[in-house]
Chain A
Amino acid sequence: MPFAEDPAHLSKSRLKSDLVAHNVALPSAASKKAVYVELHLKHIDQKNAADFSSDEEDRADDKKDAEMPVPSCLTDEDLKAMLRKHGVKPGPITASTRVLYERKLHKLLQSDRRERLNEADKAVLYSDSEEEKKQQEKDQDSGSEKQPDPSDQTQKESSQNHVFYPQCFLPSSRLRPCPPRNTESSSNWNSRNALKSSERSQSQCSQIISTSTADHHTGLGSTVLPRSKSTDDSSLSSQYFSITQMVEEMENSSSRSVTDNACEFNGTSVQENWAQSDRPPQEPVKDAFKDILPGSKTTPTGIYVTRRRPIKGAAQRPVQYSYPDSPVSPMTQQRREVERYLVPIHIQILVFIIVACVLYLIYVNVEGSLSYWSYGEDRLLVQAESQDAEADYAQD
């Protein structure tokens, strides 16, 4: 409903629909247009006037809404254009259909708004992580005393970041007491310690550590970094290593009662998915970690790895350290053993068909040739006889 339009200029049906939209009781169907106009003026224009005054007061708040036009303020053409922009193909916008299309546009705008907010959140998160990463790497290279600053920053920023849900990784680390990689124990695990200790063990994997710690802080590591073996768990593959590393990191850091950065996972694609999908508040989970592992010690990079201990004796089976490539049940194995001696079934069928064909061919040939042979034999006999006869005649 354009503001400038006089209700008297609107059609009766249009007035009706407007009244319906504003929940005004309709007069009887036979009443004149003047009645509709009156009602329209009475209820709707008053409402608009009130809205105007409130609008003037709340200009600042409405600035946001300026981007998002109110569907009821649009003309028919504008409404059509807006709907088309959102991929909806509207039919004719008449008195009866206008309200519906306005509502549809409103819904679309709301969903757009929600999407934009989500993107904004993500953008903030990513931008923070990039800044932190650069700073971390700079510090690592220079080895200067600027370490406390990024750690503070990371703490601040990470406190704003959401923490990821580490539930899946919990049990693996709890099964075995973690052998301390670094005898140093500090009450506040933070990037400074990590960086220092990483410098010490730099000989093996300097860059990897730095980026892994950077990732740790940012919580948005992009790659799973394979670490060279520097722990006691030699049996793990490098990939598993990094994931459990993060778990240990998290536990240790949580036990150190630092802020959210302790609980952030990094360097795993799973973590990324979590970051992108949803990030529920992690406070209760973090506390649980601290309670569970209060005494675990720190490692040079705070990264711990423990392999899940096989449950020996649970099924009266010996510990099996190397597993076959694909899980095979004992029944399948037995069947395979037996089948090795037997001829495969496809070959059996093939052979059967071949033999059948051969036999059939023989049968056909024999059948045919029997008559032929008999005929041939007769002819031969006849020929022989005739030859003999000729011979006899010749003799005679």
Chain B
Amino acid sequence: MSTTSQKHRDFVGEPMADKPVTALSGIGETLGKKLEENGFDKAYVVLGQFLLLRKDTEMFTDWLKDSIGANSRQASSCAQCLKEWCDAFL
């Protein structure tokens, strides 16, 4: 609770359902658009990628950095957000 943003808490607090990728913590307008270009138009697709990497936050951050050019902070924030969501709901 200390270092998480409101966005993070909003995402992790409930099942993601059909939320867009911009609902993920660390993913803003620009990154969201890039993800959509790559075919990841919904948050659950990104979750799919995260699960494909066996919920490895390190590999996921690498993937985010490579595929959409996220910086370390954004990528780790997104990874952490997804990880907590998985812990809570998966």
Q: Give the B-binding residues of A (Cβ under 8 A).
A: 13, 16, 20, 26, 29, 89-92, 94, 96-97, 99-100, 103-104
Smallest distance from the beta carbon of A92 to chain B beta carbons, Å?
6
Instruction: Please determine whether A100 and B54 come into contact, CB atoms closer than 8 angstroms.
Output: no
Verify B66–A104 contact, CB threshold 8 A: no
Q: CA of A99 to CA of B49 in the docked complex: distance in angstroms?
A: 13
Pairwise interchain contact A97-B53, C-beta atoms closer than 8 A: yes
> Is the beta-carbon distance between B67 and A20 smaller than 8 angstroms?
yes
CB B47 to nearest CB in A, in angstroms, measures 13
Instruction: Return chain B residues, CB-CB under 8 Å to A29.
Output: 37-39
Chain B binding surface, main DSSP class: helix
Is A100 within 8 A of B39, CB to CB? no
| Given A20-B67, A100-B62: A91 and B37 interface contact (C-beta under 8 Å) | no
Indicate if the CB atoms of A94 and B66 lie closer than 8 Å: no
| B59 interface contact, C-beta 8 A | yes
Q: Are the CB atoms of B39 and A91 closer together than 8 Å?
A: no
Q: By the criterion CB–CB under 8 Å, are B66 and A99 in contact? A: yes
CA distance A94 to B78 in the complex (A): 21
Q: A residues within 8 A CB of B44?
A: none
Question: Are B63 and A100 closer than 8 Å at their CB atoms?
Answer: yes
Taking a contact as CB atoms under 8 Å apart, the answer to whether B66 and A91 are in contact is no
B17 interface contact, C-beta 8 A: no
**With A and B bound together, what is the CA distance between A195 and B56 in angstroms?**
62
Q: Is B52 an interface residue (CB 8 A)?
A: yes
Residues of chain B contacted by A97 (CB below 8 angstroms): 49, 52-53, 63
**What 1/0 flags go to B42-79 for Cβ under 8 Å of A?**
00000001011110100100110011000000000000
Task: Give the docked Cα–Cα distance between A16 and B37 (Å).
Answer: 12
Q: Of the candidates A20, A26, A92, which one forms a contact with B66 in the assembled complex, judged by CB atoms under 8 Å apart?
A: A20
> Are A89 and B37 within 8 A (Cβ)?
no
Q: Knowing A20-B66, A20-B67, A104-B59 touch, does A96 contact B52 (C-beta < 8 A)?
A: yes
* Interfacial chain B residues near A89, Cβ < 8 Å: 54
Q: Which residue of B lies closest to A101 (CB)?
A: B59
**A98 CB to closest chain B CB, in angstroms?**
11
Please, how many residues of chain B have a CB less than 8 angstroms from a CB on the other chain? 14
Residue of chain A at shortest CB distance from B56: A91
A103 pairs with B52, CB closer than 8 A: no
B53 and A100 contact, CB distance less than 8 A: yes
> Do B52 and A94 touch (CB < 8 A)?
yes
User: In the complex, which residue of chain B has the Cβ closest to the Cβ of A97?
Assistant: B52
A21 to chain B, nearest CB (A): 9
Closest-by-CB residue of B relative to A91 is: B54
A91 surroundings in chain B (CB, below 8 A): 51-54, 56
Which residue of the partner chain, among B37, B49, B54, B56, contacts A96 with CB atoms under 8 Å?
B49
Q: Which residues of B contact A92 (CB under 8 A)?
A: 52
Query: Can you list 10 A-B contacts (CB < 8 A)?
Result: A26-B37, A29-B38, A29-B39, A91-B54, A96-B49, A97-B52, A97-B53, A99-B66, A100-B53, A103-B62
Which residue of chain B is the closest to A89 with respect to CB atoms?
Answer: B54
Known contacts A29-B39, A89-B54; A100/B59 CB under 8 A: yes
**For B53, what are the chain A residues with a Cβ–Cβ distance below 8 Å?**
91, 97, 100
Which residues from A are CB-within-8-Å of B56?
A: 91
Contacts of A103 in B (CB 8 A): 62
Closest chain-A Cβ to B13's Cβ sits at a distance in Å of 27
| Minimum CB distance partner of B41 in chain A | A29
Top 7 closest A-B pairs, CB basis?
Answer: A91-B54, A91-B52, A100-B59, A97-B52, A100-B63, A29-B37, A91-B53
